[in-house]
């Protein structure tokens, strides 16, 4: 089995592959104060929950956008398995041609998404990743990663409303009863859900105008995607495990 770990600002996603099959996908909170032992215990508990033996792990691959946590999680992975732990960083083979001003600044999560997107979807492709931030990554018809956009994420937008205003309450991330809200909570839900969907639709349209062609495919992923995609005007593939699949592909590319 291959263990794939994606360290995000809010959550750390843990997935396990056996061959081409995803055995499980679980999520734990990302914490700057948690020790390697504590992360290892969390990983061990996940395996036990699914009735799996950690001795079956053949190798581990990690993507991270939280540098202070990266080596702590690597230490945790080594505690539960003595096999190779690969971190996506400069020098790791990805097969992705990044046409950015500073390719090394492209997040490992975006790289993994792009690698899986190229493998599974027609080009040109736009990958919409709805995590702590919402990112749009553009891959052209020649499989080049040419750039993208970064937008405040759904939860960040929601939290900024409540933190920056005295009378707006915290809300759950769910569809409002109608677009035109009739109370404060419904108005906020409508703004977050439909406003985000409209923002993504508009961003895709702007990207396509600059590309001078329509994207052959648009794939959405990330924790908030399942809430937003149904309300977007553009047809999109919803692939919640896109990043983990990219990690597995990158792991395989780096095996001798």
7 touches 30 (CB < 8 A): yes
14 touches 28 (CB < 8 A): yes
Query: Does 109 qualify as catalytic in the annotation?
Result: yes
CA dist., res. 16 & res. 244, Å (int): 9
14 touches 3 (CB < 8 A): yes
- DSSP assignment of 140-193, as one string? -TTSEEEEEEEEE-HHHHHHHHHHH-SSPPP--S---SSSS-SSHHHHHHHHHH
Phi-psi sector, 7: left (phi>0), alpha (psi -120 to 50), beta: beta
Q: Which entry of 109, 140, 201, 239 is annotated as an active-site residue?
A: 109
Active site residues: 109
């Amino acid at each position: 089995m291959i263990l794939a770990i994606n360290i995000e600002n809010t959550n750390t996603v843990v997935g396990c592959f056996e061959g081409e099959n995803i055995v499980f996908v679980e999520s734990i909170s990302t914490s700057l104060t948690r020790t390697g032992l504590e992360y290892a215990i969390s990983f061990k508990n996940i395996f036990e929950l699914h009735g799996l033996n950690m001795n079956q792990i053949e190798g581990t691959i990690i993507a991270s956008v939280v540098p202070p946590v990266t080596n702590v999680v690597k230490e945790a992975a080594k505690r539960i398995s003595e096999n190779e732990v690969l971190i996506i960083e400069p020098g790791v083979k990805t097969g992705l041609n990044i046409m950015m001003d500073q390719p090394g600044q492209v997040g490992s999560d975006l790289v993994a998404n792009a690698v899986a997107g190229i493998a599974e979807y027609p080009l040109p492709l736009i990958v919409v990743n709805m995590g702590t931030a919402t990112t749009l990554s553009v891959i052209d018809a020649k499989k080049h990663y040419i750039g993208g956009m970064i937008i405040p994420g759904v939860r960040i937008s929601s939290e900024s409303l409540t933190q920056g205003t005295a009378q707006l309450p915290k809300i759950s991330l769910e569809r409002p009863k109608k677009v035109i809200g009739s109370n404060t909570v419904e108005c906020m839900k409508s703004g977050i859900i439909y406003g985000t969907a409209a923002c993504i639709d508009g961003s895709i349209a702007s990207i396509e105008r600059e590309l001078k062609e329509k994207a052959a495919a648009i794939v959405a992923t990330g924790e908030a995607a399942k809430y937003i995609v149904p309300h977007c005007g553009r047809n999109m593939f919803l692939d919640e495990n896109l990043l983990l699949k990219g990690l597995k592909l990158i792991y395989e590319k780096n095996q001798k």
